Structure 1
Amino acid sequence: MKRILLSGFIALSLLLTTTSCDNDDDHDTVITAADLPAAATGFITAYFPNATYQSIKKQNKADSDGSIYDVYLTNGFDIDFDVNGNWVDIDGNYQAIPVELIPEKINAYVTTNYPNLFVTSIDNETTSTEVELSNNLELVFDLQGNFLRIDK
């Protein structure tokens, strides 16, 4: 009886182990710039004219924030776009996000309260906008740009 229970336990453990190791990389495809929506390529051309594409991935299923295209530029910026080519989040990887991409009210708050810092990442979530500053401090704003809290 112990041998049957032990064999069953081992079989169940192997089954759970192999099914739980699903690799998320199987859910995206490498694409070319020609496959991006026109709005996304226009955005990159307008705000990052000197950068070239390092890699572009299209996910089979949108993330919770709606992003489906992950664009990696040679200047270090990572930009996620939704299915229509609207940017969802921009990660400068410790570089300053172009000021014109930061909502005016959020930019005013940052420059007033953190004058020696700059925004290195901005995420448009469904109910808020999150920005990360050059000292790794994360600030959360509502959709109207009103400061809500420092994210821990």
Structure 2
Amino acid sequence: MKRIKLLGITLLTAAISFSCSSDDDDDITTEVDLNAIAIKADAHVQTSTLPQPILDYVSTNYPDLTIRKAEIEDSDTYEITLSDETELIFDMQGNFLGVDDDDVDDFGDEHLDPSELPQNIQDFIAQYFPGVGIDEAERENNGNYEVELDNDTELIFNANGEFLGRGEDEDDSYDDDDEEDINPADLPQVILDYIAENYPDQNIIEAEKEDDGYEVTLNNGVELEFDLDGAFVSAEDKNGDDDDDDNDDD
């Protein structure tokens, strides 16, 4: 009799242990590495390195606007975002192809309303980035989804909506975290005077304020650096020719 009772207790204990083990298995969730890095389909490029025909086209056709962002798309085209959010598409030689209309999938990448993202992507963002809105969403030519949040975080998901990592350019030397696009008219007057005197035939096609000064790109591809007081620091053209002497940069 004692043996029967002991056997019964043993079986009950085993059943409880199996039950608990099953519950634990049900509670196991896949860990997500939010610091994982995924290479973006599109690569940022410096405005000063763009083909001259692109700089000429923007300067001629949009003289009152500046370039806010330049990218090489995975379709081997340049996408240029202007200060009024107009997106221009050029081929790799700098020939103008057209204006990218966000409502029409005419140049490969498909702009999406956040509500059009797969539900598992929306759920992922709601869970891991609560309270952060979606600023921009795209479906790339390679099938991946790229999502930019309101806090400038970029997330990459595959075609099934599975998280791949935070977006990063293939060229990890590109970093615009310390750059703020500004209207050229808001540059210190000393900088505007310097450009008017030394580059009278050129226009400002991009202006940025950085942690340690200002960076100004002219429509001939010359990139000028100034310190926070507006004093000239250096000049570099798109071919990489440096000029640190403000008396010889003409």
Q: Give the alignment's TM-score, normalised by structure 1.
A: 0.43
Counting helix residues as a fraction of each chain, which structure ranks higher? 1
Whose RCO is larger (CA < 8 A, sep 6+)? 2
Q: Give the alignment's TM-score, normalised by structure 2.
A: 0.28
